[in-house]
Structure 1
Amino acid sequence: MRPSAIRLVRDSFIACFALFVFAFLPASAHAADCGAGTLVTVVAHLDDDLLFVDPAISERLDARWCITTVHLIGGANGADFAYVQTRERASRLAYARMAGVPDEWLESNVTIAGKLVHQMVLKARPQVRLLELRLPGGAVRGGREPLGLLWEQHATLSTYPMNADGSVRVKYDRDALSATLKAILAQATLIYTLNPDTVPFIEHPDHIYAARITRHVAQTLGKSVPIVYHVTYPTGGWPGNLPAAEVQRKRDIVASYFSIDGSESSHVFGEFQWDGNWISRRYAFADRTDRRVPDFVSHPIQLFNAAASRCLSSAGPGRAPALAACTGSPAQQWRWDPLTVYPGNARNAALVSVATSQCIAERDGYLVAETCDQWDMAQRWTPWDFGLVYTPMRHCLGENDGKLTMRGCTALTTRYRWATTQRTQANDLRLATAMTGDIAGSGEQSVVYVQRQHDGPGFNVYAASLANASPPALWYANVVPFDPQATAPSCAGDRLCFDSVRFLLGDFDGDGKADLMIVAAREGGTAFWLLRSAGDHFEAPRLWLQTSNAFRPELTQQYVAADFTATGRASVLIAQKRADSGLDLWMASPQRSGGPAGSAPTLWAQARSLPQNVNLLVRETVGARAALVAVSSTNGRLALTPIANEGARMSVGERNVLPASFDPDFVKVTMGAVHGRDSNTLILLTPHLGESSEEAMIDVATLDTSGAGNTPAQAATLHGLSWSDVFPAFVRDKQGAALVLFRRTDATLGDFYFTGGAPALSRYPSGNGLALGEAQELGKLPGLFSETVRIDRLTQ
């Protein structure tokens, strides 16, 4: 037989044998079906995809897409090979949890465009594939930047080993890396990566170069593919924008990752450190690969100081910039223009005013705007990835008594943190902290607040007296175990988790003591769990009401508890978003039998004219049915709308637009019986932004809601307090009337901590017309302030 015939027989036998073996393999080992689509995500480090891109990856996986994630960097800057392997093991566990299957993988080295790449394929879901290029990484704070050297200086990099025994390294230059990425991206129907259009060190230089390389290569594919870029570090200070269910799932996935890479997950279940903040956020911008753009596109930013509630503002050529009330004017728009520096150099950007095109220099200890000169060391700034801004002389820019200041960069507080946009957590008006009520039935009001637990997604409920400075008491502990190896969600079934529930306080059983109500998604609808007050603790949750799937938390702008039926028992108003416009107001009332259960919601109003971003406040009159006032932002103005209670229905009144001096982004409101038990006064807190201010101050105004067209009147000024740090309430009990502030105490921050300080209580006794007396400090409370902050409404 001729050799060619022998080869033909041999090849046919091999092919038949392969088909035979393939037919008897389990379905999970077959080649993945990518008919739904192929997502390729390219990031720098092995947690970037989990922290900044997900839940977008999870969504595609749920839709049966093929998921390929490319990690360019192995380990971290200066890490040994053992750490590379640790991070890959952590990533495998996280993706297995994302897929809801056991952590079992097929690992191999595959050749792509002539280069070995380490591949990990999930056995039970083979459409999940992780590709590890294992390139060396750069540092967060400046120093050698290998990826930048490869891309800009045409350096050749050697990877970490490709084999577990430490053998076989791969060399990459710019052309080789481009060819490898191009081969990977060729099958993509959607591409995700990080943010190419920023400068170190606002975001990690590895993040930026990974994104620029991906964009550059994607533009050579010769086809139009959607490509989405994800902002990374700065989002930690921006408002949370992910739905509650996605946040809970993402916390599980990221916590599983950090159970290996770090061996603890406390920062993941909280928001006191940046990792925890990133989990509830995803900010991205989209493009297509056939639109050619340069490696870097400059976007104007603001520099917002939350402690001062002010923006950095240009004062013109030859003058120093200053802090001023945020207006969005060109004078408050800035650019970080990259300078010609060796990749990894910390002094790498000029701070340029968009209005004047001048650079800010530091000379003789002062800042001044002058003509830009990229070679002038006095104009070389260091944008900082965790909110600090370093001046050319290595001072830190900050705020002191409402003024712009510079100082040494040790022992800094939040007054030296900056955000790249005015829209931050500091003025996210959806947020809530403490609730107030007579939980003991003693005639005295207490503060009830909820603290995250750090070993899982559970929470603790504390109560603190408003009568005297005494340690708060633990009224209820809700432990939710976290198992990093689990495939099922931690918050499945009837488990109540901090991020996916909302809280109400009211006397739901009519015994004179305020109870806690917890609202959660359940069985396709909404569950209302009642924790009755026993006078010194809250009892275990019992199901008060389960709704149909017509009522879901993700559709409900706000829940409000009050005695809307004048029966001495609180009902729950459900403000549900309509599909066309406005809100439907539904009422879930206690059953007439007097038992500890609620009746199915009934429709009380179709409020089409109400904006969906309202904040509903209760208007109470002793012995009468509670009514509402809706506070909303309309066309940049703050507006009030009265909502009358007519027994079994509500009617929406005329909208009253407040003076333009009340910026809707900087007004915190509460309702109180300021002029007696039957009065209803709106109390408005705004930051004092007067140019002569020598300290942080808060202006307090009042507005009588009983008459249409009333305007707010200045009532008081609070000194030494930052508006962003306080949450107001007004109480009236046997101790008298008082304005109460649940607030954050400022504290020294670590490098990776977004905020610092314990919660504290201040009580300001109120005379007639909110004539506030000296503050009664009720002391610091246990835990961290940031761990008591929760989302109370869907939109603002």
Structure 2
Amino acid sequence: MIKRRHPARRTGARLARALGAFGVLGTLWFTRGVLISVVLVSVPLGAAPVALQVPSTAPCAAGAMQVVAHEDDDLLFQSPDLAQDVLAGRCVRTVFLTAGDAAQGETYWRGREAGSLAAYAQMAGVADRWSSSDAGVPGHTVRLMTLTDAPQVSVVFLRLPDGNRAGTGMLVHDHQSLRRLWDGDIAAIDAVDGSATYTDASLTSTLTDLMTAFRPTTVRTQDWTIEFRHGDNADHTATALFTRQADQGYRSAHTLLAYGGYPMWTRLPNVTGTDLRAKKDAFQAYAAHDPKICLEPWCPGDLVSTLRLARQYIVASEATGDVAAADS
């Protein structure tokens, strides 16, 4: 004879099993966070960053320019190359195409900009103090920020709308996006602060003008080798395509590098030791200003960030002129 359980007892048993399963999952997640934190904390710290100062009157030469979509893309995908350049005192300038606003409004995107500034000051080992000026692009107002105690470090904010991961754009910005501009679905795109409007041609020429004025021998951007909707953020892909198009008009000797984005998590970790520590410290300086990022061991975002911080892959490169001579 099959004994039937009382309904209340049967429900109680199911609840106990469910709670037990959640407990196991919670324990595993917490353990994962603790292990990740232990590994990162145990990385040798080495000497504190001390940037080689370049006098403010010295012209920048043989520098590196990064062109990325969002205010953390350079930190996640183009470092430790970027961090090493800053630490060495090389002239570096990073151009952020979008405000990275995620339809969250001005307070959020201004916070992301503040986070980026804090990260560069941290990499340079100087106080987070900056001066603001215009980048001097004909026909457009473009904000240029220069690090006061390390003037070889500068950033540019174009503040175009975040296009979301698929590149379809946000309702708050009338669905404007870099991808739709690249595809020809829209004729122009407006900066979220109303500072400028760009067509496909004028955005390209603006990037070319920024390159020509800074004269970098290294230009870093995102991955142009994969198509839209093939694993990376559409803003990343569109930024890479516009940068590569603009690079055709920059004739000084240089190397153009494409760095992998989201899909790189499937590759083996290749950032370790003091490089990983420096990369993590810069990202934490940024994250302190971005409320959407949680780096505590129990946060799901901690795992995502850890996967990206431990990797940097160059997926394509193109050279113009005699780069070796330009670097000498």
* Structure 1 length-normalised TM: 0.31
| Structure 2: distance between partners of 1:43 and 1:60 | 17
Q: 1:363-402 maps to which residues of 2 (within 5 A)?
A: none
> Is 1:185 the counterpart of 2:211 in the alignment?
yes
> Computing the radius of gyration over CA atoms, which structure comes out larger, 1 or 2?
1
Q: Is the CA contact 2:93–2:154 (under 8 Å) kept in the aligned structure 1?
A: yes
Gaps of at least 5 residues in structure 1 are 1-26, 162-167, 292-796
Which secondary structure state, in structure 1, belongs to the residue aligned with residue 141 of structure 2?
Answer: strand
Give the helix-richer structure, 1 or 2.
2
Select the residue among 304, 314, 321 that pairs with 1:274: 304
In structure 2, relative to structure 1, the CA distance for the partners of 1:267 and 1:134 (3 Å cut) is: farther
Q: Counterpart in 1 of 2:40?
A: none
Select the residue among 233, 247, 255 that pairs with 1:204: 233
In structure 2, relative to structure 1, the CA distance for the partners of 1:115 and 1:142 (3 Å cut) is: closer
Q: Percent identity?
A: 28
| Structure 1: distance between partners of 2:159 and 2:228 | 22
**1:134 deviation in Å?**
0.4
| Structure 2: distance between partners of 1:151 and 1:82 | 28
Select the residue among 260, 271, 284 that pairs with 1:242: 271
Gaps of at least 5 residues in structure 2 are 1-52, 170-175, 322-328
Q: Is the CA contact 2:92–2:153 (under 8 Å) kept in the aligned structure 1?
A: yes
Select the residue among 249, 254, 266 that pairs with 1:220: 249
Q: 1:298-309 maps to which residues of 2 (within 5 A)?
A: none
Which secondary structure state, in structure 2, belongs to the residue aligned with residue 111 of structure 1?
Answer: coil
Q: Counterpart in 1 of 2:258?
A: 229
| Structure 2: distance between partners of 1:129 and 1:268 | 35
Q: Is the CA contact 2:167–2:178 (under 8 Å) kept in the aligned structure 1?
A: no
Which secondary structure state, in structure 2, belongs to the residue aligned with residue 189 of structure 1?
Answer: strand
Which secondary structure state, in structure 1, belongs to the residue aligned with residue 84 of structure 2?
Answer: helix
**1:137 deviation in Å?**
1.4
Q: Is the CA contact 2:227–2:237 (under 8 Å) kept in the aligned structure 1?
A: yes
Any idea what the Cα deviations from partners look like across 1:185-219, whole Å, max 9, x if unmatched?
Answer: 12111100010111233000000000011011112
In structure 2, relative to structure 1, the CA distance for the partners of 1:123 and 1:105 (3 Å cut) is: same
Q: Is the CA contact 1:28–1:123 (under 8 Å) kept in the aligned structure 2?
A: no
Select the residue among 87, 92, 97 that pairs with 2:112: 87
**1:264 deviation in Å?**
4.1
**1:32 deviation in Å?**
4.6
In structure 2, relative to structure 1, the CA distance for the partners of 1:184 and 1:268 (3 Å cut) is: farther
Q: Is the CA contact 1:30–1:126 (under 8 Å) kept in the aligned structure 2?
A: yes
**1:285 deviation in Å?**
2.9
Q: 1:699-714 maps to which residues of 2 (within 5 A)?
A: none
**1:177 deviation in Å?**
0.7
| Structure 2: distance between partners of 1:48 and 1:268 | 23
Tell which has more relative contact order, 1 or 2 (C-alpha 8 A, sep 6+).
2
Q: 1:346-361 maps to which residues of 2 (within 5 A)?
A: none
Give the strand-richer structure, 1 or 2.
1
Select the residue among 129, 148, 155 that pairs with 2:179: 148
Select the residue among 27, 31, 42 that pairs with 2:57: 31
* Structure 2 length-normalised TM: 0.73
In structure 2, relative to structure 1, the CA distance for the partners of 1:203 and 1:234 (3 Å cut) is: same
Q: Is the CA contact 1:159–1:171 (under 8 Å) kept in the aligned structure 2?
A: yes
| Structure 1: distance between partners of 2:298 and 2:144 | 27
Which secondary structure state, in structure 2, belongs to the residue aligned with residue 176 of structure 1?
Answer: helix
Q: Counterpart in 2 of 1:287?
A: 317
Aligned residue pair count: 258
Q: Counterpart in 2 of 1:171?
A: 197
Q: Counterpart in 1 of 2:128?
A: 103
| Structure 1: distance between partners of 2:307 and 2:133 | 35
| Structure 2: distance between partners of 1:116 and 1:177 | 12
Q: Is the CA contact 1:223–1:289 (under 8 Å) kept in the aligned structure 2?
A: no
Any idea what the Cα deviations from partners look like across 1:485-533, whole Å, max 9, x if unmatched?
Answer: xxxxxxxxxxxxxxxxxxxxxxxxxxxxxxxxxxxxxxxxxxxxxxxxx
| Structure 2: distance between partners of 1:267 and 1:178 | 41
Amino acid at match of 1:160: V
**1:266 deviation in Å?**
1.9
Q: Is the CA contact 2:168–2:179 (under 8 Å) kept in the aligned structure 1?
A: no
Q: Is the CA contact 1:76–1:138 (under 8 Å) kept in the aligned structure 2?
A: no
**1:272 deviation in Å?**
5.5
Amino acid at match of 2:288: S
Which secondary structure state, in structure 1, belongs to the residue aligned with residue 182 of structure 2?
Answer: helix
| Structure 1: distance between partners of 2:180 and 2:138 | 22
| Structure 1: distance between partners of 2:132 and 2:277 | 30
CA-based RMSD of the aligned residues comes to 2.4
Which secondary structure state, in structure 1, belongs to the residue aligned with residue 256 of structure 2?
Answer: strand
| Structure 1: distance between partners of 2:107 and 2:275 | 32
Amino acid at match of 1:30: S
| Structure 2: distance between partners of 1:141 and 1:128 | 32
In structure 2, relative to structure 1, the CA distance for the partners of 1:268 and 1:285 (3 Å cut) is: farther
Which secondary structure state, in structure 2, belongs to the residue aligned with residue 203 of structure 1?
Answer: coil
Q: Is the CA contact 1:75–1:81 (under 8 Å) kept in the aligned structure 2?
A: no
Amino acid at match of 2:245: H
**1:29 deviation in Å?**
7.5
| Structure 1: distance between partners of 2:211 and 2:244 | 11
In structure 2, relative to structure 1, the CA distance for the partners of 1:269 and 1:223 (3 Å cut) is: farther
